[in-house]
Structure 1
Amino acid sequence: MFIQTEATPNPEVLKFLPGREVMAEGSRDFRDAEEAKASALAADLFDVEGVVRVFFGPDFVTVGKHPGHDWPHLKAPILAAIMDHFTSGRPLFEDAGEAAGHDGEVYEGETAQIVAEIKDLLDTRIRPAVAQDGGDILFNRFEPDTGVVWLHMRGACSGCPSSSATLKAGVENMLKHYVPEVTRVEQAL
């Protein structure tokens, strides 16, 4: 098994490409070892000293490190953990329901149509571009009274120095152009 690594715009995050599907649908962000208990792979990665965040995308894993640790010392144990997981045949999640999503709010009428347009743009144009950098952007909510769209930045995008520029210059401009009801985009915590 050959695992490629790619730098991301966030110097504290590396993207690992195992050459196979990681998550069939969606993505999953692990912010600490407690959250990582849902996945054997995520837990194994958090066992590597210096790992502070793990993110699963469709065909990649991004790993965030503590600024006090260096990638040359972390890459080998991270690569070993990823290789061991995929060669073992273990499932990604202990409980199949763990991969399920977010966004439980129900929108109606014209607002539902606006939200559908926003989600379509995110899924077809924005998320694929962001995934190339090892991250993801997920819809959180839309406030029809103010026109504000709230999004979650995940993976390499979370905490990236250029994420606010990406959010404002790229995502906000595109959403405002195609969905005139959008007035602004903000990052949900």
Structure 2
Amino acid sequence: MNAQSQDLIRLEFTPNPSTLKYVVARPLLPRGTANFTEKAAAETSPLPLRLFEVDGVKAVMVGPSFVTVTMADEADAAALNDGVHAALHAHLDAGEHPVDPAVLEQAAAANAEDGPVVSRIKEIIEEEIRPAVAMDGGDISFERFQDGVVYVFMKGACSSCPSSTATLKMGIESRLREELPEVVEVVQI
């Protein structure tokens, strides 16, 4: 590890005891997140692939300036933390791109315009909800709006967090219903 990559990584704990958030003082992605729930999906993305090599890593999410790592149930947290730090430093020292640009393009293509209600839902999620969720090492993406129900996908620390149901119902659903009477419910898929 060289002197440039030292002090670039800060560990933060999340509300999900199985997920650790690593804030990196260097941009990783221009915007959004890339979520990897298995090693095979990370084969063309250098940073997640490197992190999956760490014993006990179950899932990886890369954000604009952070990475969240979800631990397997049997993982040794201290050893995993050491391994993740080493992998992050190795990645930063190598100067590689973190995520395959094709993965990012697919995510961007999925965000096509859909009409005024869907556009407003996406705007609220993007501008208000995602930044708040990212503070806890997670992410949320809009999947669809159908029959008054907003379907979202929660990633990173939020995907299996014990308090994600409360966040979903009391936070996200309340905010969307306050703004849009068309929204009846928000459901995590």
Is 1:96 matched up with 2:93? no
Deviates more, 1:65-74 or 1:27-36: 65-74
Question: In structure 2, which of residues 68, 79, 84 is the aligned counterpart of residue 78 of structure 1?
Answer: 84
Aligned-partner Cα distance in 1 for 2:164–2:44 = 27
Runs (5+) with no aligned partner, structure 2: 1-5
Paired amino acid for 1:147: G
1:171 maps to: 172
1:150 maps to: 151
- 1:105 is displaced (CA, Å) by 6.6
Question: In structure 2, which of residues 39, 53, 72 is the aligned counterpart of residue 47 of structure 1?
Answer: 53
Aligned-partner Cα distance in 2 for 1:103–1:88 = 31
Is 1:160 matched up with 2:161? yes
Is 1:126 matched up with 2:129? yes
Contact 1:31–1:53 (CA under 8 A) maintained in structure 2 = yes
1:141 maps to: 144
2:29 maps to: 23
Structure-2-length-normalised TM-score: 0.91
Deviations 1:70-104 (A, max 9, x none): 311211111010011011111113x4222121536
Aligned-partner Cα distance in 2 for 1:120–1:105 = 12
- 1:106 is displaced (CA, Å) by 5.9
Question: In structure 2, which of residues 119, 123, 132 is the aligned counterpart of residue 116 of structure 1?
Answer: 119
Deviations 1:90-137 (A, max 9, x none): 1113x4222121536763xxxx10011111111111110000000011
Structure-1-length-normalised TM-score: 0.91
Paired amino acid for 1:135: G
Identity %: 41
1:10 maps to: 16
Aligned-partner Cα distance in 2 for 1:34–1:68 = 21
Aligned-partner Cα distance in 1 for 2:22–2:42 = 17
Q: Tell me the secondary structure at the aligned position of residue 31 of structure 2.
A: coil
Aligned-partner Cα distance in 1 for 2:57–2:117 = 39
- Number of residue pairs aligned between Structure 1 and Structure 2: 181
Contact 1:14–1:156 (CA under 8 A) maintained in structure 2 = yes
1:59 maps to: 65
Aligned-partner Cα distance in 2 for 1:96–1:68 = 33
Q: Tell me the secondary structure at the aligned position of residue 14 of structure 1.
A: strand
Aligned-partner Cα distance in 2 for 1:105–1:125 = 19
Structure 1 segments (4+ residues) deviating >4 Å: none
Deviations 1:21-61 (A, max 9, x none): 11112111000110111211111111111100000111100
Question: In structure 1, which of residues 27, 36, 47 is the aligned counterpart of residue 42 of structure 2?
Answer: 36
Contact 1:62–1:156 (CA under 8 A) maintained in structure 2 = yes
